[in-house]
Amino acid sequence: MTDETASSQAASPSRRAALLWTVIPFLVLAAAIAWLFGTNPLRSFENGAPPVENLTYERTTLDGGGVRLLVRAGGSEPLKIAQVQVDAAYWQFTLDPPGPLPRGQSAWISIPFPWVLGEAHRVTVVTSTGATFEHEIPVAVPTPEVTSNGLRSQAILGAFVGILPVAIGLMFYPALRGAGLSAMRFLLAVTVGLLAFLLVDAVAEAFELAGASAPVFQRGAMVVFAAAASFLLLMAVSRRGGRPSGVALATYIAIGIGLHNMGEGLAIGGAFAAGSAGLGTFLVMGFTLHNITEGIGIAAPLLKIRPTFRQFVLLTLIAGGPAVLGMWIGSLAYAPHWSALALAIGAGAILQVIIEVTLFMLRNDEDRTDILFSKEVLGGFALGIALMYVTAMLVKI
């Protein structure tokens, strides 16, 4: 018998023991859960109070057949919808799927209510326990139907507010390429400034949307942990081949911006689906001007190299393309938790890019001790934030 055979036979019992001790905790847990549901030891604490209930409105559609609402249940027990009021009057309704709603399940409520164009309406859902949950329709307008022409129009708009401005920003590359060391510092600091604004903006919007989502999605915790997971994952990926620079760093900047644009696209697409997207010419131009600065930020790490035209095209699509995808998804299946999740992931990616750009700036400068407090860096950082802030004023309504 060889040494390898003997060691393998000796290791077999230890592996079986390790497997057994891996299975035993799960068996104990399963037995404990079965005992909890079988004996219901909490029965002695019941005092006749109704169960805790929660209902979140996620989507509203209006058409010739009336009003349809997508709701999601929460609470300690399955929620049963008993009655529906519209403007304080009771109306018949259908539920799809029918029956009580278990915790976390969604359903469509269809109400044959003759809504009035331009008027406000208030819907109240009454549960079997007497709890009420209200939802306001501020301005009743027909929900646009999803058609190939509509999706094509959204793609054109998404390309105009997402892809085109990033491409215009990257067109400044030849003019910026001859920049000296001070100008290089300044442009990288501008990139950090605009990314810092996007980070704050993404986090604020993510928390706002998470607050409108169902409690079952953990709201604020979902935002924090999704952002942290995105940040750690991208940090791990970026360090596999050493510290990123050049095209690699520009790609990470484009990814962070693209994820942020996807979150905004989801919100815009949801507004389209609700028939409340007032995207006039002025607002579209505001989005375009706002995103041009993002293209300049992507170009900053490329000034010492000569990227190919194909690389510029890919960077443009990575940063701007998700706006189109977000509009499509938002118009087809919008829910506040999806937008919050996308913006949180984008925030984590942007934080990773801020760190990488700052480290890149330090690595490429001999005077590492004072560079972060130099007038070029402080001025560029302030300008980046100011540009994003001013252009963002054009898109906030």
Domain ranges (residues) in the chain: 53-137, 148-392
Give exposure, 132-157, as e/b (b: 16+ Cβ within 10 Å). ebebebeebeebbeeeeeebeebbeb
Higher-scoring residue by pLDDT: 26, 44: 26
Pairwise CA distance, residues 101 & 238, whole Å: 44
Higher-scoring residue by pLDDT: 50, 311: 311
* Closest CA relative to residue 195, chosen from 361, 326, 313, 397: 361
Pairwise CA distance, residues 262 & 343, whole Å: 8
Pairwise CA distance, residues 382 & 13, whole Å: 65
Q: Assign a CATH topology to domain 53-137.
A: Immunoglobulin-like (2.60.40)
Residue type at 273 in one-letter notation: A
Pairwise CA distance, residues 139 & 275, whole Å: 10
pLDDT for residue 10 is more than 70:
no
| pLDDT score recorded for residue 362 | 76
Coil vs helix vs strand at 103: coil
Say how many C-beta atoms besides its own lie within 10 A of residue 112's C-beta: 12
Going by pLDDT thresholds of 50, 70 and 90, the confidence category of residue 4 is low
| pLDDT score recorded for residue 89 | 92
Instruction: Report pLDDT digits (tens) over 69-107.
Output: 999 998 778 899 999 999 989 999 999 999 899 888 999
| pLDDT score recorded for residue 12 | 65
Instruction: Report pLDDT digits (tens) over 227-250.
Output: 999 888 888 887 776 777 788 888
Q: Tell me the pLDDT of the chain averaged across its residues.
A: 81
Pairwise CA distance, residues 166 & 172, whole Å: 10
Coil vs helix vs strand at 113: coil
pLDDT for residue 126 is more than 70:
yes
pLDDT for residue 276 is more than 60:
no
Cis peptide before 51 (omega within 30 of 0): no
- Pick the most confident of 108-112, 135-139, 318-322, 363-367: 108-112
Average pLDDT over residues 172-195: 79
Pairwise CA distance, residues 349 & 260, whole Å: 9
pLDDT for residue 191 is more than 90:
no
pLDDT for residue 184 is more than 70:
yes
